[in-house]
Amino acid sequence: MLAGVYLHIPFCRSRCSYCDFATDVYKNTETVERYVSALANEIKFFESSNLNHPLTQKVPTRGVDTIYFGGGTPSLLTPKQLEKILDAIYGKFSIETNSEITMEMNPATVTQETLREYKSLGVNRASFGAQTFDDSELKRLGRKHTAQDVRETIELLRSADFDNVSFDLIAGLPRQTLKDWERNLDEALKLMPEHLSLYLLEIHEATPLAEQIRSERQPMPDEDLSAEMYELMLEKVSEKGYEQYEISNFALPGFRSKHNSKYWTLDACFGFGCSAHSFDGQKKRWANERDTLKYVEMVEKNLSPIVEQNEIDQKSESVFLGLRLTAGIDLDKYKKRFNLNLIEEYAGDLKRFQEAELIEISGNHLKLTNKGRLFSNEVFTVFV
């Protein structure tokens, strides 16, 4: 199977209240330049025994068909900085023709000129966080853009010939009503991006939002209301021709995220940059230093930025990741791969989940029901 490459760009104009990703506020161009140089050098020394890399065995050039710039806000990169990183990737990997190259972008951070330059460098998919079309909600979340910025960004992308656009919305925000969420969905579907990621809000410890809820400055999201929002979401997007292929991801036919799908099917994906995670497609996972400056200094000193390594339980991960997909788990493939009967192996738990209408066995596939997708974490705990 062909691999994916992930590049983490940590810089943002501000930090959102709900975000627990490794990010830094964009302070000066010198820091960004140092980071880009370190990132390019890390790619250059991939698999180098000099850097104590988990993959030190020399192998044939690796084939790659997806490249993903995530963050942070990768659209704060200049075209020249983007080109430097892409040159390093093309110098290290064998990149397939017509590969999917995604860049995350925040509304109001791009111009038509920079978009055209990104496109000329090979970026052919744009993904950005709309999050909500309510300006007061955006302000509470610490987002710097407005709903109008989202609309204008879509127009800029279309005028720059981007025909594969994805954006995110979050349901269950504090004080958000069902009517508010319906308006968000209607606005999103009016713009008709090729792909939608629709998430229920998760409260992560050590984020400003978690502290706001703990101190009662923001109300705790209502789980029953979130369930209603999820049902409404499924109904609305289906009416517009989107297919749900993963718990939170919906696409028009032919526009599923090829890169993100690699995570759910346990394909190899190599991450570069601070906090980036990698998987060799077999058992090995590793992760980089999370702190931006520490990461840069480690690479500048020719030290490996890898701070964590482990081996996964393939059987366990193939189950809970496979259940994230709407297609579910192919029971024959599971038996052939692990020489085990999944239904017999977890008979008691699966019976309990069936009685609770969280799972179904359809033909030769085990999958979550719509209700099961809403309470997926309860199912996943059995397999992790």
> Do 138 and 11 fall within a single domain?
yes
> Do 187 and 86 fall within a single domain?
yes
The answer to whether residue 304 scores a pLDDT higher than 50 is yes
The answer to whether residue 59 scores a pLDDT higher than 80 is no
- Which range of residues forms the domain containing residue 337? 314-380
> Do 107 and 253 fall within a single domain?
yes
> Do 201 and 321 fall within a single domain?
no
Share of the chain above pLDDT 90, in %: 65
Q: How many domains does the chain have?
A: 2
> Do 219 and 344 fall within a single domain?
no
Name the helix (H) or strand (E) containing 307: strand 306-311
CATH number for the domain including 80?
3.20.20.70
> Do 229 and 319 fall within a single domain?
no
The answer to whether residue 213 scores a pLDDT higher than 80 is no
Q: What is the mean pLDDT of residues 195-205?
A: 76
Domain boundary at 264, 295, 327, which? 264
Q: Please report the pLDDT score of residue 22 as a whole number.
A: 46
Q: Tell me, what DSSP letter sits at residue 371?
A: H
281 domain residue, yes or no:
no
Distance CA 26, CA 29 (A): 8
302 domain residue, yes or no:
no
Task: Read off the pLDDT band of 21 (50, 70, 90).
Answer: very low
Q: What is the mean pLDDT of residues 196-222?
A: 65
The answer to whether residue 206 scores a pLDDT higher than 90 is no
Q: Which range has the top average pLDDT, 66-80, 211-225, 250-264, 315-329?
A: 250-264
Task: Read off the pLDDT band of 209 (50, 70, 90).
Answer: low
Residue 168, φ and ψ in degrees, nearest 5: -105, 145
Q: Please report the pLDDT score of residue 145 as a whole number.
A: 80
The answer to whether residue 361 scores a pLDDT higher than 80 is yes
> Do 244 and 149 fall within a single domain?
yes
296 domain residue, yes or no:
no
> Do 202 and 326 fall within a single domain?
no
270 domain residue, yes or no:
no
User: Quick one: 352 exposed, middle or buried, by C-beta within 10 A (0-12, 13-18, 19+)?
Assistant: middle
The 3-state DSSP class for residue 15 equals coil
CATH number for the domain including 344?
1.10.10.920
pLDDT in tens, 135-161: 888 887 777 788 999 999 999 999 999
Residue 175, CA distances (Å) to 103, 145, 221, 232 in order: 31, 20, 8, 18
> Do 94 and 222 fall within a single domain?
yes
Amino acid letter, 368:
L
